[in-house]
Chains A and B, each alone.
Chain A
């Protein structure tokens, strides 16, 4: 006996509702088949990562971001992720925001270093991860400073060191005029040499950071993101202004040391040797700062004139083979 039409409608409606509910569960519940487990981390800057963004481990997608909640008092973000149940953190694991390349959107990257727990802090530091404080399943890393921020810090530091070196050179000059003993003078000169070595090292780093045309496409691309993305926040021209002031200080140092060398013609050999070393160091520093400033100026000018320059890069061609050989 066939059911009456009312029963058929009831059963049909029930089956349709169950189907809709099943579809809704599959579509809306993040992990309906319990294939993932939830891992939480703390980040100081999510850099545009939002719920749904994939989580990668050693190049493979293993989950996605489920929720991001701002923690008011600590001004950090609690990031909840669903990751493959098979994934197991090592004793030294952490989460960081990264991009496959500067032109793609950022994503969460899980890093598992095969290092014993005792050496984890050092290994993490070597990796460039500065942990965000806060209780979470997985340590999160602070957003690393980008090229311009690093450069701004380095230039500021170089300016401070140049000022210290200047003060030391002035003190040496006073000592040479009779205000101090030869022992003190040697000590101050040695300190000045160390200060100048620090300045020289900083200027070398700056020169390396900004030298264009190293042929590394990643470097060019990172310029794109960092120059175009951060240009509104960091004034490249102002940075270059500080750099030029530092250069002027270095030039003043050079003049001071040259003056000291003239005055100390008859003074002790050790002081003289140290001063000559300082003079050489200043020449190198000055050249490094000059090149950095020029590179920064060129980069800034080219980007201002043509923002696509950094993407397109410069066109190069190999030299012709000698004698038409291959």
Chain B
């Protein structure tokens, strides 16, 4: 047995060296909104969404409900775009479904209203085997140098399985819900402040 030990060790080291790394999963979000007859006014310019901390990066973040103060980062799951960029695109797409003139950060034209948003949460929350995608953002509309409404919007969607596609679909659903609620408020001239 002692004679075999070096060979076993060599074989073990060889196996460890030859084993490939974990394949990373890059997830794409393509939020879609049902278009209604677009209103000609007001025009909107969406500013780049700000994000802080770990959600500013592309690595997938998750929180265990048992330790809500600890945010963790996944080893192999990544977003194709940073969540703040995805939210910026979703806000532009959402507003375009109801308003004719909406520009994003790529075309910063003067507009009647400027939409300034800050992404607050974009994470998976796991609780006793159940997981959900949570998205929350604060948004302010600015016109003529004054804030005309500051609201908070959030949504969550269940994550049924561990696959990247399922996780991305849940986040897409959550982002669509939250942005749709914001667009609805803009169209109705109201402001919501979700308690989440």
Contact = CB atoms under 8 A, between A and B. Distances in A.
A321 B129 CA distance: 8
27 contacts: A197-B108, A211-B56, A212-B57, A213-B59, A214-B57, A214-B58, A265-B144, A269-B110, A272-B144, A273-B111, A274-B110, A276-B114, A277-B110, A280-B116, A284-B48, A284-B105, A287-B50, A316-B73, A316-B74, A317-B74, A318-B74, A319-B72, A321-B162, A322-B126, A322-B158, A322-B161, A325-B162
B142 interface: yes
A317 B72 contact: yes
Q: Is the interface of B mostly helix, strand, loop or mixed?
A: strand
In the A-B complex, the 3 residue pairs with the closest CB atoms: A273-B110, A321-B162, A316-B75
B48 A320 contact: no
Interface in B68-105: 72-78, 105
A89 B191 CA distance: 66
Interface string B41-65: 0000101101000001111101000
Contact of A321 (B24, B56, B161): B161
B176 interface: no
B145 A319 contact: no
Contacts of B72: 316-317, 319
Contacts of A276: 110, 114, 142, 145
Contacts of B193: none
B59 A215 contact: yes
A321 B126 CA distance: 9
Contacts of B136: none
B45 A322 contact: no
B176 to A, nearest CB: 20
Given A215-B24, A262-B145, A322-B131, 5 more contacts: A211-B56, A214-B78, A272-B144, A273-B111, A284-B48
Interface of A: 197, 211-215, 261-262, 265, 269-270, 272-274, 276-277, 280-281, 283-284, 287, 291, 314, 316-326
Contacts of A212: 57
B169 interface: no
Given A214-B57, A291-B56, A320 B116 contact: no
Nearest to A315: B75
Contacts of A325: 160-162
Given A265-B145, A274-B110, A276-B145, A211 B57 contact: yes
Contacts of B126: 319-320, 322
Nearest to B25: A318
B120 interface: no
Given A272-B144, A323-B130, A316 B162 contact: no
Contact of A317 (B58, B75, B131): B75
A316 B21 CA distance: 13
A197 B162 CA distance: 41
Contacts of A326: 162
B124 interface: yes
Nearest to B160: A322
A212 B24 CA distance: 17
Contacts of B179: none
Contacts of A291: 56
A139 B78 CA distance: 40
A270 B110 contact: yes
Given A319-B72, A321-B161, A325-B162, A277 B45 contact: yes
A196 to B, nearest CB: 10
